[in-house]
Amino acid sequence: MERPEHMRVVITGGEGFLGRRLTASLLRQGTLRAADGQSQSIDRITTVDVVPPSLQKDPRLVAIVGDITDPALLLRAIDPDTTAIFHLAAVVSGLAETAFDLGMRINLDATRGLLDACRTSGARPRLVFTSSVAVYGPGAGLLPDTVLDTTAVAPMSSYGTQKAIAELLISDYTRKGFVDGRVLRLPTISVRPGKPNAAASSFASGIVREPLNGEPAICPVDPDTRLWLLSPATAIECLIAGHDMPAAALGSNRVVNLPGLSTTPREMVAALGRVAGPEVSRRVSWERDPRIERIVATWPGAWDTTRARALGFPGDDSFDTIVRRYIDEEMGAEQT
């Protein structure tokens, strides 16, 4: 296959938390690696979302606003010249559990539709898909202390089930040659700026973000619940690294458990106190919510990342570093 003279990128969920950051990062970087390992200039980024674009105008940006489950919309976004797709569009865990039909439609049906749009267009792009710790199960006390790449998935939530099925679909469409798929299992992302969302993991950002903003925060799980975390900035680095990875390095196993930090809410609040002061960490209170605990208990608190590290995926040094980076990059930006 001849090396493309350009990179044309599609980002689904382009107006989401990670989507906006990925788009901005790719615009700054200006290149991605092609199949031959050479850097190629990005001349078009098409974002797909249900809300209008918020990023500053850039001649390389094209925004498609609409329902990602619409086959006609997907065929507008994905054409024979599409070289890369970052499939980030999703309904978050808590909402997927309570709004079953919506979760199935966005998390599963839209993924199948996107894969078929790739097959129909003949583009055969590199496809990076964000999966989740939620594919594992069946919960605390039954999972091994450290989940291995070979640990079987047995999700105990609708969100986890939808992500696990999508993983299998991407692996099979890759085997058939319709896409060059890369499934990246993300840890819980913390610290997210902005308002709380419907994700069961929302507290993992709220217990840092709200106290730093001078507001109280409630942790709805046991303080010693073990969580697997990754900072937003490192998550974006991992997405780009996952795209640029040579297909041969991944082989037939296209699923990678990304590096993260294994920590607990108690340790997170202690880190907050070390970085921002004890008066800030005292704004966190503890009030367990059985609904949130049931979901979070099905997630592993640590996993083996030997393969991810060998492949060159980055990770975070400590939660103290994550808190400092949030203060510097997010809160500093808000004040300027």
Q: What is the pLDDT of residues 122-149, one digit of tens each?
A: 999 999 999 998 898 765 557 777 888 7
| 219 and 242 part of one domain | no
Domain that holds residue 320: 200-227+261-301+316-335
Residue 239 is assigned to a structural domain of this protein:
yes
Greatest alpha-carbon pair distance for the chain in Å reads 60
Q: What's the domain count of the chain?
A: 2
| 326 and 217 part of one domain | yes
For residue 116, give the CATH number of its domain. 3.40.50.720
| 69 and 105 part of one domain | yes
pLDDT at residue 335 in the model: 46
pLDDT tens, residue by residue, 15-52: 999 999 999 999 999 999 998 889 999 999 999 999 98
| 293 and 248 part of one domain | no
Lowest mean pLDDT among 32-41, 53-62, 266-275, 311-320: 53-62
Residue 171 is assigned to a structural domain of this protein:
yes
| 41 and 134 part of one domain | yes
| 166 and 278 part of one domain | no
Q: What is the pTM of this model?
A: 0.92
| 267 and 124 part of one domain | no
For residue 325, give the CATH number of its domain. 3.90.25.10
Cα separation, 238 vs 313, in Å, equals 6
Specify the pairing of strand 217-219 against strand 227-230: unpaired
| 210 and 69 part of one domain | no
Cα separation, 44 vs 62, in Å, equals 7
Residues annotated catalytic, as ranges: 159
